[in-house]
Amino acid sequence: MVADPSVLSADIFTAGPAAIAGIRSVMTMVGGRTVRETGVIR
């Protein structure tokens, strides 16, 4: 069994309401494979 994690550009739990709209996905994995990567994480 594998998880399907997403890495966001900021912490949605500490970001203010106005900042949440600007938070983006920087990496997403599905079925253990990276399906989206922006190159921000190295």
C-alpha Rg value of the chain to the nearest Å: 12
- pLDDT confidence tier of residue 41, bands split at 50, 70 and 90: confident
Mean pLDDT of 26-34: 92
Q: Residue 32: its pLDDT value, please?
A: 87
Residue 42 in any domain: the answer is: no
Per the domain annotation, does 17 fall within a domain? yes
Number of domains, the chain: 1
Answer whether residue 1 is part of any domain: no
Task: Classify residue 30: in a domain, yes or no.
Answer: yes
Q: Say what the pTM is.
A: 0.73
Task: Let me know if residue 20 belongs to a domain.
Answer: yes
Domain around 27: 6-37
What's the average model confidence in pLDDT over 3-7?
A: 91
18 domain-assigned: yes
User: Which residue in 23, 19, 25 sits closest to 7, CA to CA?
Assistant: 25
In this prediction, residue 8 has a pLDDT band, given cuts at 50, 70 and 90, of: very high
Degrees to nearest 5, angle at CA 9 with 27 and 38: 40
Give me the pLDDT at residue 1, please.
73
